[in-house]
Structure 1
Amino acid sequence: MERHEFGVAVRQLRENTPPAAVGLPVGRRRTQGLRREELGELAGMSADYVRRLEQGRSHPSAGVVNAIARALRIGRADYERLCALAGYAAADGQVPTDLGPGAMRLLERFTDTPMFVSDAAMNLVAVNSAFLALRHWDLTGDPWEWNIAWRTFCDPFTGFKQSVDDATDHEAILAAQLRSTLLRYPADASLAALVDEMRSRSRLFDALWRTPRPVAAYESSAAFIHPDAGAVTLVGSLLAIPGDDLTALMLTAAPGSADAARLAEIIGAGGEPAIVKVGQSGPG
């Protein structure tokens, strides 16, 4: 089954890779993406071998997986997936943190919507100025002060309030995300240390880790307490950015509501739109 799924994944990646993205001339083509011959030439293997791989009739070595990944110039998440389907651990097994072009486009195009981008370990990678304008993310000096899960379970925000139901959904999402990430990146020592520390510090997180709750929807509502404007209720919706294994969260208010008007005032007072890269030591 894994061999068949690996072949399907390779074929999909090949067919969805524009020739120009790997340095090949576009010209007039009858097929979508790359031909098997082109992938074979780029990866240093025959077109017949590529066909056998895609049909699940040949098992790839780790070197073949790496050669295909380099030839197609795929992102970290797709590389991890190919490795898993072929039965190999990825080269380093570290959670990727690079802010790719897809994430940048989201941040650039939704300047009036509070948004952040996080890696698979729930560390914030970048935020827009609309998100910072909410002024709820206080810095504590803790090594994991920019980690969403850590701040939720071990170091809660004072300016962030949720109902019991919304908090339950939010907690289930975070625990499920971290569990999935640790399975994909078992060699990431920082991630393992974060999970261990959270399980030691939070009984709730430890219980969710041992007995996960089902995740019904990847969104929840919360009241953000702005120090000057007061409370504004927003719904956070998660958007996956698969190629880079990143996640974007967008915060929106109900159209035409008092919260929407208050949010517009908060963002308007925040100054010019900007994208800020963040990390363990704060904005930089």
Structure 2
Amino acid sequence: MATTELGAALHHWRDHVSPQTVGLPEGGRRRAAGLRREELSQLAGISADYLTRLEQGRATNPSPQVVEALARALRLTQEERAHLFRLAGLVPPGPGMVPRHLTPGVHRMLDRLTGTPVAVFDAAWTQVLANALYTALMGEWHGNDLNAVWRNFLNPHSRIRHTPESRGALQAAHVADLRRTAGHYPDDPDLHSLITELRRRSTHFDELWESGTVGTHRAGRKTIDHPQVGALTLDCDILTVAGRDLRIMVYTAEPGSEDADRLALLDVVGTQSLVG
């Protein structure tokens, strides 16, 4: 079957990534040790048909978002990711762009945090990756709602319990953090588009943006009203990956508490419903 350098590279990397490496069960008989196309397409959030066309050379111009998603799903190194961008005819993201690449080391760290809700956000507060328990706890987001700032201003549906004061403080912190990010990454078109749309659609965001405040968003203790297990009050900590400006959000409960019991219950019933 005719292919391209891009298609051959994708096929090669897919064949050399084991299911266990990306957190998938090994079950079933396999013709090869690597990932099936359907598995990679699911991990990357693209259709299996499109992945097939990329590998066979019938699709040759993937978007930067697709290439980024494939690099993340294949757990490529920084150098391999840059090579994939070039094979796709794209310029690898430069220093003026928000970093969205997860190194294999970050992936491995997240793999070990089983039983803990964890999500990774980029510097613009767009969710890059979330484990099953985080999704079960907070809900599954798509499109613009993957961005926490967007949700905070434009989506009223949140499981996090807020008072007017706490929501206002969170909104102010998000805007100050986003302004800091805009200063660090002046060449990122997605970041510019996000800020433009938020200013256009939210008067309150625009007022906060005009204030010129610069800062860093820090999390604290949050109460989440969950439709299956009830209210959970959890500590929310944000860890930053040095040199990447990625934010790892981790929720934990006090050991032996009712909140810990409810989180353990959610780890059973919530994650089952996601994969059932």
Match of 2:97 among 87, 94, 99: 94
The corresponding residue for 1:112 is 115
3-state SS in 1 of match to 2:175: helix
* Separation in 2, partners of 1:96, 1:168: 28
3-state SS in 1 of match to 2:129: strand
Q: Give 1:271 deviation, angstroms.
A: 4.5
Cα 1:107/1:155, change in 2 over 3 Å: same
Asked if 1:199 corresponds to 2:176, the answer is: no
Task: Give the paired residue count.
Answer: 185
3-state SS in 2 of match to 1:161: coil
Cα 1:183/1:203, change in 2 over 3 Å: same
Query: Does the 8 Å contact 2:177/2:215 carry over to 1?
Result: no
* Separation in 2, partners of 1:116, 1:103: 11
Structure 1 counterpart of 2:200, one-letter code: S
The corresponding residue for 2:130 is 127
3-state SS in 1 of match to 2:114: coil
Residues 147-167 of structure 1: CA deviation (Å, up to 9, x unaligned): 111011111334222234433
- Structure 1 unaligned regions, length at least 5: 1-73, 77-89, 277-284
* Separation in 2, partners of 1:214, 1:95: 17
Give TM-score, length-normalised by structure 1. 0.57
Query: Does the 8 Å contact 2:119/2:250 carry over to 1?
Result: yes
* Separation in 1, partners of 2:101, 2:94: 17
Report the RMSD for the aligned CA atoms in angstroms.
3.0
The corresponding residue for 2:254 is 254
Larger radius of gyration: 1
- Structure 2 unaligned regions, length at least 5: 1-76, 80-92
Give TM-score, length-normalised by structure 2. 0.59
The corresponding residue for 1:222 is 222
Residues 156-203 of structure 1: CA deviation (Å, up to 9, x unaligned): 334222234433442233212211111111111111110011112222
Sequence identity percentage? 35
3-state SS in 2 of match to 1:113: coil
3-state SS in 2 of match to 1:144: helix
Query: Does the 8 Å contact 1:229/1:266 carry over to 2?
Result: yes
Cα 1:113/1:106, change in 2 over 3 Å: same
Higher RCO structure (Cα 8 Å, ≥6 apart): 1
